[in-house]
Amino acid sequence: MKTKILEKATKMFLNLGFKSVTMDDLANEMGISKKTIYAHFQNKTELVEACTMHVFQLISHGIDYICSLRKNPIEELYEIKKFALQHLNNERSSPQYQLQKYYPGIYETVKGKQFEVMTTCVLENVRKGIDLGIYRENLNIDFVSRIYFSGVTSIKDHRIFPTDQFPVTSLMDDYLEYHLRGIVTPKGRKILNELINSNQE
């Protein structure tokens, strides 16, 4: 039952927002009593934390799997972006913003974990790209990995990028292209252009 509550709550939080969903809403949706929920989670904050870590683990494992496929580094970043968006329901309810506003402690914890996973992933991605001659040799790898994380985090701020003006999927595509065009060699640019063109067909 705990797993079912966790999965349903995660889906509702991502679709409707951490603030919007109450324990009553969750109980009604599942056809159970609030008492049943509280038998597994002491309060809403504990449930939000469990759901947040659940999503983090899912995405982290998915990223690890994609990296293990040893794809072309440019293609790898697009695959990771697509996978993350699928598991965040395209972030329709601005979950990161709501988490930051209403559960700042949980937000900071998960952001720290995201930083570790993402910078490690991008460091490895950049190294592979340099070895293959599709990323520039003179890159400061640590800088690139951190500025990438910083950018990915910033574009999720709906005060800066309102969703009615910047739909999430196209915003992520624009950011990824912006990132890659700054680090590719002519050889890498050719691969990137081919990938972008194939995605538009």
Rounded CA gap, 11 and 1, in Å? 15
- Helical segments of 17-132, H only: 23-30, 34-38, 44-68, 73-87, 95-102, 104-131
The token duo for 48 is: 């939000």
Burial of 47 (0-12, 13-18, 19+ CB in 10 A): buried
Predicted confidence pLDDT, tens digits, the chain (201 residues): 999 999 999 999 988 889 889 999 999 999 999 999 999 999 999 999 999 999 999 999 999 999 889 899 999 999 998 888 887 755 555 677 788 889 999 999 999 999 999 899 999 999 999 999 999 999 999 999 999 999 988 888 888 998 889 988 889 999 999 999 999 999 999 999 999 998 765
End-to-end CA distance of the chain: 44
The token duo for 40 is: 């597994």
Q: What are phi and psi of 139, to 5 degrees?
A: -70, 140
Class of domain 53-200: mainly alpha
Chain center to CA of 44? 23
- Type and span of the H or E element at 128: helix 104-131
Domain spans in the chain, listed from the N-terminal domain onward? 53-200
Q: What DSSP assignment string belongs to 144-164?
A: HHHHHHHHHHHTT-TTTS-TT
Please tell me the pTM assigned to this model: 0.84
